[in-house]
Chain A
Amino acid sequence: GESVGLHLPTLSVQEGDNSIINCAYSNSASDYFIWYKQESGKGPQFIIDIRSNMDKRQGQRVTVLLNKTVKHLSLQIAATQPGDSAVYFCAETPYNNNDMRFGAGTRLTVKP
């Protein structure tokens, strides 16, 4: 996912619903994929990661799915809460360095 300019893709969900945020990545050599959450006025915060030798990984209320065939990554948030409202970024990197390439981000808004 490359930057698409000033307007981020947005996702609006009702509190309690499940959210799915998608990301397309470009580098087939990337070995490590990460999801970050960024709230207003704060730096990105790690949510969950997945290595390229996996296709699914679960955390607390979050699941990341990786489809290497179509270079697609998704983040599923179960029972979305107002505190989940933020911009979510996917990032890709080779395994052995910290040079992360970020997607444009998706703004998630949770309606009470």
Chain B
Amino acid sequence: KAGVTQTPRYLIKTRGQQVTLSCSPISGHRSVSWYQQTPGQGLQFLFEYFSETQRNKGNFPGRFSGRQFSNSRSEMNVSTLELGDSALYLCASSPIPDRSSTEAFFGQGTRLTVV
């Protein structure tokens, strides 16, 4: 069974640009969560999608947005990039959006560098 796939693995963007990151969850998983990881702030929750709907949202500005498609694949978008957006963006998938059955599985992440 394939794991969580995130593309691209590495990305370099310029300040002010926008970027779209992609996440393909494990087959059959319907919940996708996004996290930002930086040395200064650690792992921080961005948002979670289930059945194409955003269920939860972390404390990030509106420049950060996401969506989920009918096949459960998810994308996140960051507009008007700032230097501080440089981070590892991680996607995690779960079968269902609660903890009754199993854990979340993380992808390898997309390393975004803003210059």
CB within 8 Å of B: which residues of A?
2-3, 5-6, 31-32, 34, 36, 41-46, 49, 51, 89, 91, 93, 95-105
Contact = CB atoms under 8 A, between A and B. Distances in A.
Contacts, number: 75
Contact of A89 (B4, B43, B104): B43
Nearest to A102: B43
Nearest to A5: B40
Interface in B91-109: 92, 94, 97-100, 103-109
Shortest 8 CB-CB distances between A and B: which pairs? Answer: A43-B106, A3-B42, A102-B43, A46-B103, A99-B56, A96-B98, A98-B33, A32-B99
Given A44-B90, A98-B48, A34 B98 contact: no
Contacts of B64: none
A102 B41 CA distance: 10
Interface residues of B, number: 29
Interface of B: 4, 31, 33, 35, 39-45, 48, 55-56, 58, 90, 92, 94, 97-100, 103-109
7 contacts: A41-B108, A43-B106, A46-B104, A89-B43, A98-B48, A98-B55, A103-B42
B99 A95 contact: yes
Contacts of B48: 97-99
Given A3-B42, A93-B99, A43 B107 contact: yes
Nearest to A7: B39
